[in-house]
Structure 1
Amino acid sequence: MTSDAIVVGGGVGGLVAARRLAREGFAVTLLERSGALGGQVARQRIGGVDLDAAAESFATRGGAVAAFLAELGLGDDIVTPNPAPAWLHRVDGSAVPLPSTGLLGIPGEPLAADVVNAIGRGAAERAARDADLPALAGTDAASLGELVRLRMGDAVVAGLVAPVVRGVHSVSPDALPVERAHPRLRAEVLAQGSLAGAVRAIRAASPAGSQVAGIRGGMFRLVDALEADCRRLGVRIEVGARVTSVEPDAVVVAGRRRAGLVLRASGSVPDVSRRVTLVTLLVDAPALDSAPRGTGVLVAADAPAVRARALTHLTGKWEWIAAALAGRHAVRLSYDGVPEDAVATAARDAGILLGHPRIEVLDATQHTWDRGAGEPPGDLPSVGETAAGTGLASVIPQAERIARELSQARGIRPVPATGERMEG
């Protein structure tokens, strides 16, 4: 079998690339090893309601995701979360609101009252000395942790940045490249003359309102819409397709060689040391009606008696989920690895993190993913989280760009626009 293009991997990056290649005039085959498309943008059913199993929001920076959703007919279903802040669960077991003017925990106003409350006056004053440093200081740092530590001090890294980065990216800030943290951060430090100034500039350039948004009914609706549009455009989608060999111009599936320009969307080899477990609990807990920890809790790595690295209060964060669950609450806890007796561990952690130990669990789900190890091989064009970085705001634009570059390199003319719009 011959295709103009073969996309290996059916996560969001692969689906976006396959759709774009089809629109650019390619005959496309998409091969997904598992039995479902979407990767970590997945559906689960709990308490009789379909919810997201993992990713339930996207970063609004740049507007790329919102524009893409509008293309798919989902623009009217974009929703913003409860504006209440998330909280930090600190090393001493206490909890405080996350400062409101930050970027991945980096404070835009180091001496603001909520920053002082979170890390103390001395640490905040050290962070404020960022403004006195030369603009070049730290801008050659390889990692976000190194950059923040040099400009604002250890306490900001340990007390603010590490819990947020651990919750969002599943790594230490010392393992997160600066460009993966934010593609404009390094340049803005140079332009503004300070790290705090860079944070303020990036936030000011973001769309008004929340830094994140979601889709009413669940982010998994994006995958449904992408699959439907890919099929409409003639993309051949095969799930359960085990690819055993990949070359730039062919793949081997079930012992058969298939020719075509290959685009890798499956990341690198899964790394069990980067295994992530997400446990969603449906609970009866009237004490949570007031959202005592806002939209959720980010946990310091050395916090006592808690294994989770983050908790999202789903019904406190999203109005549509609260309405669908009618008085019940849903919380999701994130773990590195697989905790023993995951549901019981999650229930215990939820009680500690929410400040209400008596929580009755009505239903629960557990999902585990192995993230890719390192960078994808350099001999193939690649899309998806491993190539683009964490989050749809990174994955979608990068997949669109790579697909367009492949089209331009091959000189294939785009399919004429039909004016059709798929409604979600």
Structure 2
Amino acid sequence: MLDVIVIGGGVAGLVAARECAHLGLNVLVLEAADVVGGAVAGHEVAGLPLDAGAESFAVRGNTVAAFVANLGLADQIVEPNPTGAWLHLPPLRSGGAPMSVPLPKAGVLGIPGSPLADDVRRAIGWSGALRAYADRLMPVLKIGREHSLGELVQKRMGSKVLDRLVNPVAGGVYATNAVDLEVDVVAPGLNRTLTTAGSLSGAVTAMRIAAPAGSAVRGLRGGMHRLVDTLVEDLERFDVEIRTGTAVASFRPVDTSTVAEDGTDTPVRSWLIECAPAAEAPATVAPAAFPTTDAVAPTAFPATDADAPIPAEPFTLEARHVILAVPAASALALLAPLGAEYADLAALDWPAPAAVELATLVLDAPALDAQPRGTGVLVAVGTPGVTAKALTHITAKWEWIDALTPQGQHVVRLSYGRAGAPVPTLDLSDDEFMHLAVRDAAAILGVDLAPEQVRGFARTLWSDGLSPATIGAPERIRQVRDVIEGTPGLDVTGGWLSGTGLASVIPDALAAGIRARRAVLDL
């Protein structure tokens, strides 16, 4: 019998497995995909080692930096180019052309702290700025709190701030509309500060003053996928087996007992896990992933036991403790057969999972040497001539990538798919998708680009993201955690519970690992 089985080989699963293995527990990781890493994955495009998934981490709480340092990568942490992002927006007046402007800097989630500042007026015009400034004159509700970020912004500052500033940021960070985001999740403390400051812009200014100086994100030299490489290497040193291409069809507890020398019976719970090759597994069982600005399906990371044969028939494993580290749909489907209270979790009012497809282009484009749109661009809904919702100019954002490319060669990545709508690229062939991405990149960056300039192209799809920041999510998550906490020998972790990004995922996975090892060592 194994001590711990971790179901899901994304970052959450690997981090939890490491926490158990470092205390000498016998740990096995099961991953349905043929690679590990989840949304922190890498791929090679035109000979360049690039991030296919998340390419940065939030610095809040210093949790990721501390974990990275513990892995021996502290000296590999790098800052992005501070020039910042831009916005690509519909024309302010009917009949005008789309416009590109720098994202206003003195804001939180696109909400301006200074509504009449030049960079705000460039994005929303004088009428929008004056409407936003009226927030300073409006009374603040003293009782209760706001739930919807979008409704709060619309009420206090008007539709131009919402549509042209806040929604592009919400779509880029949380893959959903601002109206669906829970204020207390995406902007903790905003409700309280709004009451004390007397206006939304005043609250934003106060929060920015209180925030630590410096970049809000950092990365790793060589790419964030190095985090997964290093985790796998560390797990190998502690004899953790990782089985890829192995899906879990079901699992259930088995209660037995052991008899001590004095004849006393001690109850023991273990878990039986029914496994199968991934091709035979239920469609709901998907690779581990979590929402992130640039989340994708896993790509090329070898399993630690790549040479070990995977059984062709279903088989059963047994463990004292199970850590479930898969996306929401997969987790809820596996939990439902355990009993009525588990099945009720799947019946909660979960939003539809977000889906995003990414296009990575390596271009011979000297015109981009000038970094015409900073480190990237967020595209507002309704901007004519563009299908993508965002673009990251990778070589402008990260010096380490720029150093790998010859003069005039650039890497850009475009994101497709908005909340509540089908991903517009799914039915396109690779060639059709590449041509669309080139056209969009040209429009967004304001330069002439042609398919003949493409030296490499890759597409990646992520289709099982469930944002933990939507309205009602805190209560749904609380109900899940309450049920799991009452289940001996079981833990659940992952971005759909912990929050968006590594700064939320890693601490939650560490906590799950700590609980698992304590439970096993107390047996």
Q: Structure 2 length as normaliser, TM-score? A: 0.73
Map 1:21-420; keep pairs closer than 5 Å: 21-23=20-22, 26-92=25-91, 93-134=98-139, 136=141, 140-190=145-195, 192-247=197-252, 249-254=271-276, 255=314, 256-269=316-329, 274-327=354-407, 328-336=409-417, 337-339=423-425, 340=428, 341-359=432-450, 360-373=453-466, 378=480, 379-380=483-484, 381-408=491-518, 410=519, 412=521
Answer yes or no: is the 8 Å Cα contact 1:63–1:207 preserved in 2.
no
Aligned residues: 411
Answer yes or no: is the 8 Å Cα contact 1:20–1:403 preserved in 2.
yes
Answer yes or no: is the 8 Å Cα contact 2:493–2:508 preserved in 1.
yes
Structure 1 residues 370 and 143, CA gap change in structure 2 (3 angstroms): same
Structure 1 residues 184 and 7, CA gap change in structure 2 (3 angstroms): farther
Structure 1 residues 70 and 373, CA gap change in structure 2 (3 angstroms): closer
Which moves more between the two structures, 292-301 or 23-32? 23-32
Larger of the two Rg values belongs to structure: 2
Structure 1 residues 39 and 411, CA gap change in structure 2 (3 angstroms): closer
Q: Using the alignment, how far apart are the partners of 2:138 and 2:9 within structure 1?
A: 46
Render the CA deviation track for 1:184-234: whole Å, top value 9, x for unaligned. 444443454443344334434444211111111000001111122223234
Q: Using the alignment, how far apart are the partners of 1:65 and 1:371 within structure 2?
A: 24
Structure 1 residues 136 and 411, CA gap change in structure 2 (3 angstroms): farther
Q: What root-mean-square deviation, in Å, do the aligned CA atoms of Structure 1 and Structure 2 show?
A: 2.5
Structure 1 residues 146 and 216, CA gap change in structure 2 (3 angstroms): same
Q: Which runs of 5+ in 1 are unaligned?
A: 414-424
SS in 1 for 2:163: helix
Structure 1 residues 363 and 138, CA gap change in structure 2 (3 angstroms): farther
Structure 1 residues 288 and 108, CA gap change in structure 2 (3 angstroms): same
Structure 1 residues 191 and 6, CA gap change in structure 2 (3 angstroms): farther
Answer yes or no: is the 8 Å Cα contact 1:267–1:383 preserved in 2.
no
Render the CA deviation track for 1:50-69: whole Å, top value 9, x for unaligned. 01012111111221111111
Q: CA deviation at 1:133?
A: 4.5
Structure 1 residues 401 and 203, CA gap change in structure 2 (3 angstroms): farther
Structure 1 residues 98 and 139, CA gap change in structure 2 (3 angstroms): farther
Q: Using the alignment, how far apart are the partners of 2:201 and 2:213 within structure 1?
A: 19
Q: Which runs of 5+ in 2 are unaligned?
A: 92-97, 254-270, 277-313, 331-350, 418-422, 468-475, 485-490
Structure 1 residues 373 and 297, CA gap change in structure 2 (3 angstroms): closer
Q: Using the alignment, how far apart are the partners of 1:285 and 1:176 within structure 2?
A: 38
Structure 1 residues 406 and 353, CA gap change in structure 2 (3 angstroms): same
Q: Using the alignment, how far apart are the partners of 1:69 and 1:191 within structure 2?
A: 37
Q: Using the alignment, how far apart are the partners of 1:371 and 1:245 within structure 2?
A: 19
